[in-house]
A and B are shown apart, each in its own frame.
Chain A
């Protein structure tokens, strides 16, 4: 694997359960993770847990509240608060599969990752490999999400994955993914049509 193809560390685990986990990172590290990106956590036993970033959360604290309520904030205060504060940015991840002994499954892992495990952004090769397996069945996990803009998440993920597959000369992947989405969502007319509206918008960009 070339240097540029390495997985990029983007944070460390704060808390986890089988179906999702949350990692934290510093604000200055925030230019890498993005909504819908495929990430993974490497466990001590060398197994890996894969997930999609479903939400990035920046929490407030009492200092921020005081600063926000002030009349004017000096630039150095803003910079200090952003880059030196002890409160991490939270990266929420939906678990979509795991790898054990070199084989990837789109089921939930037997155990969640542990705190302080390192979260990595998957490189394009890993993205292509993971998303091509098992008839793209990992997409079903996204439908579990409640009270979240699933359509936007799907659109963001498909856009990234489409780009990676097309760079690898695989334009069929996106077509299959669209069909898979329709299969998974066809019994939910309002949701499916919203997803298709988003995808249509995306394609027209």
Chain B
């Protein structure tokens, strides 16, 4: 049977056994090549419709002897064909996930009575029972998938891809997606940054939440070129120039042809002891650091960073007795006065040199970029913070922590005001973090603000969108809190386990995740989607933008194309 003959709701088999825990066993009545692991199936039984996922396909026989010999060699070809048809089978393991009461058949006399009792269409609920023996199993059609995942509305119900077998659209409810922290995972080249771009474009277009994107590798805001295909890749700023603020880290930062809307310079007074402590690992700070920093802060308050930076290391003066002693502007002098071990203070001063040298940390920034970011986000804008040339780990950790801490303070305050009746409901905010394992690994998770957001900030309207290729490196307590997980191909067993942490039915999903195509196939799962489903992800291309933004004529020339992409045309 050819694929095309599998029309809507084609019956592919019937239930022969199984249960809720062990999955349903289904006898396949079509060739196994027409059903793939991960296929979304529906099973009608009495007045209920069950929705499930194929988690395994297994060859089986009425008697193993039939399978163990090559029947075509022993018997006449047509007899061997008939024998194989009747004695050799493929069984599917189907994980039932959801069920919905669909009521009696429309033509049935019982329908009107049922309808009177159920004035609203029942919605799908987690599966609590099982279909009958021999209930027909069908491939879900477009309407079934829309029933579960929603009908694309070019707003919050956003199409992220399509089913692998029949190309039916599969949508993600972006409003639900932003209610809890979520993650996009996949190895390098699995297309996770394209997927992230697409979802961010959807979020910005739907405009129900603000997004703050820490764009470590400068790939989300500005237009770029795909490293795989060499095709132009549109940045978010190019398509949403009014909604997106492109912020460059440090004065004078430029991104090719694109100027940032404003730059971010951080005032020394904005840096807290907490920010420095969060860099303990990367700056290799000692245990004594906290004491020294606390002392500095208690003595100099907001200006501790500037004052410490101004202190010299090793300068001495001669006293009245002709002996050398620390100069009054030295670290040792302050340490002695403050009752701190001078050696420890001097060591810390040296280590903090890496911070003192950052050009975007200034005593008196030209403008308060930090406040501008917060204001933009509150004003329903979206911010892409591009790190430009400052794309090393130290800059990333410092700046993301600093901004996020400020966000936490602001959103917590707004939420409390809102709950006490003194303000508007805060704008939901999604903080997008790349290379998340650097901020959320087991060692760092307790120190950075991000684990707090992942675990607790949901009630303050702030959630994370984690983009990472090594989910196993992320602290498992954070991973288990992630609502929606969208994962591309992952090679490492630990990464696969990490993505599935805290979810039911992991056994079946593990195989599905391990066997995803290296490109363009992803598995959506978790709280934010009604049921796990592997999909072929939507392409982030010209058609995507035409579909999303509409009313756009297909460009007819290179110039028009570049203009459509929001890029200056350099060809003339």
**Using a CB-CB cutoff of 8 Å, which residues 56-113 of chain B contact chain A?**
62-63, 65-66, 74-76, 78-79, 82-83, 86-87
Among residues of A, the one whose C-beta sits closest to the C-beta of B65 is A189
A179 touches B76 (CB 8 A): no
Which residues of chain A have C-beta atoms less than 8 A from B65's C-beta? 189, 193
B74 touches A178 (CB 8 A): no
Among residues of B, the one whose C-beta sits closest to the C-beta of A202 is B76
B74 touches A186 (CB 8 A): no
Q: A179-B86, A196-B83 are in contact. Are A186 and B75 (CB under 8 A)?
A: no
Which residues of chain B have C-beta atoms less than 8 A from A200's C-beta? 74-76, 79
A178 touches B82 (CB 8 A): yes
Residue pairs across A and B with CB atoms within 8 Å: the count is 41
Which residues of chain B have C-beta atoms less than 8 A from A203's C-beta? 76
Q: Is A129 an interface residue (CB 8 A)?
A: no
Which residues of chain A have C-beta atoms less than 8 A from B83's C-beta? 182, 186, 192, 196
Least CB distance, A184 to chain B, in whole angstroms: 10
Which residues of chain B have C-beta atoms less than 8 A from A193's C-beta? 65, 74
Which residues of chain A have C-beta atoms less than 8 A from B76's C-beta? 199-200, 203-204
Main secondary structure of the interface of B (DSSP, over half): helix
> Hey, what's the 0/1 contact readout for A55-76 against B, CB within 8 Å counting as 1?
0000000000000000000000
In the assembled complex, the Cα of A55 lies from the Cα of B87 at a distance in Å of 32
> Hey, what's the 0/1 contact readout for A170-205 against B, CB within 8 Å counting as 1?
000001001100110011010011001101100110
Least CB distance, B274 to chain A, in whole angstroms: 74
**Using a CB-CB cutoff of 8 Å, which residues 137-189 of chain A contact chain B?**
175, 178-179, 182-183, 186-187, 189
B62 touches A178 (CB 8 A): no
A183 touches B78 (CB 8 A): no
A178 touches B86 (CB 8 A): no
Q: A196-B83, A199-B79 are in contact. Are A189 and B66 (CB under 8 A)?
A: yes
Least CB distance, B291 to chain A, in whole angstroms: 81
A179 touches B82 (CB 8 A): yes
In the assembled complex, the Cα of A91 lies from the Cα of B99 at a distance in Å of 63
In the assembled complex, the Cα of A204 lies from the Cα of B77 at a distance in Å of 11
Chosen A-B contacts, 26 in total, with CB atoms closer than 8 Å, are A175-B78, A175-B82, A178-B78, A178-B79, A178-B82, A179-B86, A182-B79, A182-B83, A182-B86, A182-B87, A183-B86, A186-B63, A186-B86, A186-B87, A187-B62, A189-B65, A189-B66, A196-B74, A196-B79, A196-B83, A197-B74, A197-B75, A199-B79, A200-B74, A203-B76, A204-B76
Q: List the interface of chain B (C-beta within 8 A of A).
A: 62-63, 65-66, 74-76, 78-79, 82-83, 86-87
Q: List the interface of chain A (C-beta within 8 A of B).
A: 175, 178-179, 182-183, 186-187, 189, 192-193, 196-197, 199-200, 203-204
